[in-house]
């Protein structure tokens, strides 16, 4: 009975180390980009793509 719950937890754990960029503000995204030395220009979607690729 516990197998499905364990599988679900494993799926959640794989996403746990990736921040939820979509819920962040543009200013927060830009701060993250600056910290990584990446360009901060572009729309929110571009900023998110850049962070996910970093």
| pLDDT, mean of residues 26-53 | 96
Instruction: Report domain 3-53's class.
Output: mainly alpha
Total residues found in the chain within this entry: 54
pLDDT for 44 equals: 97
- C-alpha 17 chain-centroid distance: 8
What's the pLDDT at 43?
A: 97
The distance from CA 26 to its chain's CA centroid, rounded to whole angstroms, is 13
Question: Cβ distance 21 to 33 under 8 Å?
Answer: no
Residues 6+ apart with CB under 8 A from 17: none
Residue 51 pLDDT greater than 60, yes or no: yes
**Cβ neighbours for 51, distance < 8 A, ≥ 6 positions apart:** 19, 21, 29, 32, 33, 36, 38
Domain range list for the chain: 3-53
Mean pLDDT across 28-45: 97
pLDDT average, residue stretch 17-33: 92
């Amino acid at each position: 009975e516990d197998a499905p719950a364990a599988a679900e937890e494993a799926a959640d754990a794989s996403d746990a180390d990736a921040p939820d960029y979509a819920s962040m503000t543009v200013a927060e995204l830009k701060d993250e980009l600056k910290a990584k030395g990446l360009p901060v220009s572009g729309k929110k979607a571009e900023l998110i793509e850049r962070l996910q690729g970093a």
